[in-house]
Amino acid sequence: MFRMPRHVFFLTAALTGLLLSACGNLLLYPEAQLLGTPDQIGMAYQETTFTAADGTPLHGWFLPAEGEAKGSILFLHGNAQNISYHFGSVYWLPERGYNVFMFDYRGFGRSGGEKDLDGVYLDAEAALAHLRSRSDVDPDRLFVFGQSIGGAVTTWLMAHDSRVGVRAVILEGAFSDFRRITREKLGEIWFAWPFRWPLSFLIPNRYSPERVIGKITPTPLLIVHGTVDSIVPFHHARYLYRAAGDPKTLWVVEGAEHISAFVPQRPEWRDRLVGWLNDRVSPANSVGE
């Protein structure tokens, strides 16, 4: 049986512990430089600035619907880069009749401040408040769509918001629990594998999606997850679905990797999502599939 020398054990544990204790450094990987702007591909958009509760200046893009808007979607992206990298996830929705408001968390893109997990939740609250306040948005026809860590933030936001005017919540590729996903990621690193359980408890779990997702009910919830997601394994969707209240829907996307259900190569899934959104904005339909 392999035995790690004691000095190596303690050094490894200490170094990994330092990494884990800096939760924001572990989970958030911002990029300041934008790849481009929507107008460069001929899309109308508005540069938008707003402020978080602690005074942090934030930046986003408002993509207006083509024609009369059916509703408006607040989009919360994943843990890396900035909105210009995640633009491809939602750029197609305005032509299908939906406004999209996407923004960068603090420390990302053109938003101010430093990356900070606690601060991300303040940013999400501010973004939703901003969307509700816009004169060109119907505050009674809102959706909140979060991908990856944005799905975790969306879950917490919707569990603690009044959800007035929010017709439905969409999560794609979301993980169920901060400590669970940490253990799984540590398990992929050979030197950290023996310590994945104790080290995972260094990660604050107060924002655990699985613990609060049940509070979203009775707002309709849609969970979307690819079966071959190597970043956030599919079983996280099962955990979230089991913990959620009704009405809830789970879409299993066979062969899809992380947050790739709505890529151009899967137009049928885009059509299905738009149909689901259309049903939710219909006054006659307020429950899931």
Closest CA to 204 of 272, 236, 156: 156
| Residue 178: other Cβ atoms inside 10 A | 22
Indicate whether 10 pLDDT > 80.
no
Q: Provide the percentage of residues in the chain whose pLDDT is more than 70.
A: 83
- Residue 194: band (very low, low, confident or very high) from pLDDT cuts 50, 70, 90: low
Buried b / exposed e over 185-223, threshold 16 CB at 10 Å, is bbeeeeebebbbeebbebbeeebbbbbbbebbeebbbbb
3-state secondary structure the chain: CCCCCHHHHHHHHHHHHHHHHCHHHHHCEECCCCCCCHHHHCCCCEEEEEECCCCCEEEEEEECCCCCCCEEEEEECCCEECHHHHHHHCCCCHHHCEEEEEECCCCCCCCCCCCCHHHHHHHHHHHHHHHHHCCCCCCCCEEEEEECHHHHHHHHHHHHCCCCCEEEEEEECCCCCHHHHHHHHHCCCCCCHHHHHHHHCCCCCCCCHHHHHHHHCCCCEEEEEECCCCCCCCHHHHHHHHHCCCCEEEEEECCCCCCCCCCCCCHHHHHHHHHHHHHHHCCCCCCCC
Long-range own/partner contacts, residues 112-119 (CB < 8 A, 24 or more apart): 112/56, 112/57, 112/58, 113/52, 113/56, 113/57, 115/24, 115/25, 115/28, 115/30, 116/24, 116/28, 117/23, 117/24, 117/27, 117/28, 117/204, 117/207, 119/52, 119/54, 119/56
pLDDT at 180: 85
Two tokens, residue 223: 């969970």
| Residue 6: other Cβ atoms inside 10 A | 8
For 217-248, how does the pLDDT look when each residue is reduced to its tens digit (9 = 90+)?
Answer: 999 999 999 999 999 999 999 999 999 999 99
pLDDT at 203: 73
- Residue 186: band (very low, low, confident or very high) from pLDDT cuts 50, 70, 90: confident
Question: Which of the residue ranges 34-38, 52-56, 172-176, 180-184 would you say has the lowest mean pLDDT?
Answer: 180-184
Report the C-alpha gap between 88 and 264 in whole angstroms.
9
For 57-75, how does the pLDDT look when each residue is reduced to its tens digit (9 = 90+)?
Answer: 999 999 999 999 999 999 9
Two tokens, residue 167: 């017709």
Closest CA to 51 of 106, 89, 100: 106
Domains of the chain: 31-170+206-243+259-281 (3.40.50.1820)
For the chain, give the number of residues: 289
